[in-house]
Amino acid sequence: MQTKPDPRGLGYLPDETPTPGKLLVFAFQQVLVMFPATVTVALLTGFHVSTTIFASGLATLCFLLVTRGKIPLYFGSSFAYIAAVLSVVGSERIVGGIATDAAISEAQFGIICSGLISILAGLIVSRFGMEKIEKVLPPTVTGSIAMIIGISLAGTAMNQAAAYADGGTSGTAWAAALITLAATVLFSVYLRGVWGQLPILLGILTGYVVSIPLGLVDFSRILADGVLVAPHFTLPTPNLAALAAIMPIAIATIPESTAHLFQLDIYVNDLARKKGAGTYKIADKLGLNLIGDGIGDIVASLFGGPGGTNYGENISTMAITKNFSVKMLGAASLLSIVLSFVGPLSNLINTIPGAVINGACIFLFGVIAAQGVAIMVNKEVDLFDARNLAVIAVMMIIGLGGHYGFSGSGNIPFLGLELPAIATAAVAGIVLNLLLSIGRKETPPPVRSGQ
């Protein structure tokens, strides 16, 4: 029996479709949200930007098809791969900011192999069920991963918002970033109806308009290339060094992808409850999600795109806007593919100042971290339990300390190796949780006073 719809239940569930006009606007908002992080990965690793945008859209489309439209997630380039890819590409092999085709091809091979690991994990989960995987990836691990990812991105958002990467802070950059942040937060809290579903887009547009008189927008870049410019495609080349360096990164993206799925389940079912629409068993599709994630890696890397995973930024946007429409995400993926071919459109998005994008990201990345807390609250994690505290504490310090320490490289030097902080935190959390679970009988969390 369905409950009476809650008047606050405005939004779109995965199997619902906005009207065509709204669909395009919502899709464009999703593209804007994924754009900065996805393009940043390309810039940092020497991959071609247009190819990366194309790969993101195509991988998302394949993910939605493989998961039969049951999981509304967007696929984008993952920061977890940056250090491993750079170890293969090598700074000396980058010419003019772009890696050589040979270097990209070798990295592609390692990324494809990491996709195979995700697919294998998905098949295991599908065969043995959620209960088995939750013993390895409990909410203490997945929630901590989400928090680490969100907080580890904080430095990127703040530095770019202040234009610090250009050699120092800029008063105009700060002005644009803070106005964007304030507008985005105010729109998300106070707008209602259709406008209330577009706070990210409206916040970015507000910041963009403000940036024009501040001299932060370079319109000359819009027509810098031809109208139609095909992405630069490369084919993978087998390489054992690339396989060894990149393939293990799946260990980091599997918990990350799992955390995102649990986050999505919470928010979709909250909207479904308010709309009296029953229950969406999204979290039960973890195996299918991991298979789709692995296929996304393979598809993206076949054409020369960086490794990736489903995007917390897009989940945050869906949670804020209450729009989880699969068809909307499909439209966003097609729009990304089109943008990768249309020079002026892609260049127009590139004119949005980094300060504006990252002003909005200050909010978005914080929401990613907060969703990690939501996972633990939803799963009723007992934070007075010594084992849970140990797992969370060790993961947070390894992940965040490793990311911000050691000259901010994001890697942990260990016995001559460079270990990616997020991946290392994930492995440490998984191993520690399994060790501390030996001989332990699970008991329900104690009832606190006032409950």
pLDDT digits (tens, 9 = 90+) for 30-77: 998 887 778 777 876 778 888 999 999 999 999 999 999 999 999 988
Least confident piece of the model among 152-166, 169-183, 305-319, 327-341: 152-166
**What angle do helix axes 20-45 and 82-89 make, rounded to 10 degrees?**
50
Q: What is the DSSP string of 189-225?
A: HH--TTGGG-HHHHHHHHHHHHHTTTT---GGGTTSS
Q: Are 306 and 47 in contact (CB under 8 A)?
A: yes
Residue 241 has pLDDT above 80, yes or no: no
Domain spans, the chain: 20-128+161-271+285-368
Q: What is the mean pLDDT of residues 124-128?
A: 85
Residue 5: pLDDT band (50, 70, 90) is very low
Residue 229 backbone dihedrals phi, psi, to 5 degrees:
-130, 115
Residue 444 has pLDDT above 60, yes or no: no
- Look at residue 259 in the predicted model and tell me its pLDDT: 79
Strands 417-420 vs 75-77: parallel, antiparallel or unpaired: unpaired
Task: Compute the mean pLDDT over every residue in the chain, rounded to the nearest whole number.
Answer: 83
Highest mean pLDDT among 42-51, 134-143, 387-396, 401-410: 387-396
Q: What is the CA radius of gyration of the chain?
A: 21
Distances in Å between the alpha carbon of 416 and those of 244, 400, 411, 441? 15, 21, 12, 39
What residue type is assigned to position 104 of the chain? I
Q: Which residue has the tokens 């819009």?
A: 222
Residue among 60, 346, 26 nearest 201 (CA): 26
Residue 96 has pLDDT above 70, yes or no: no
Task: Give the residue with greater pLDDT, 146 vs 350.
Answer: 146
Task: Give the residue with greater pLDDT, 333 vs 47.
Answer: 333
- Look at residue 450 in the predicted model and tell me its pLDDT: 43
Q: What is the mean pLDDT of residues 184-208?
A: 82
Strands 308-310 vs 411-414: parallel, antiparallel or unpaired: unpaired
In the numeric block, which tokens belong to residue 379?
A: 């799963």
* Helix (H), strand (E) at residue 325: none
- Look at residue 1 in the predicted model and tell me its pLDDT: 39
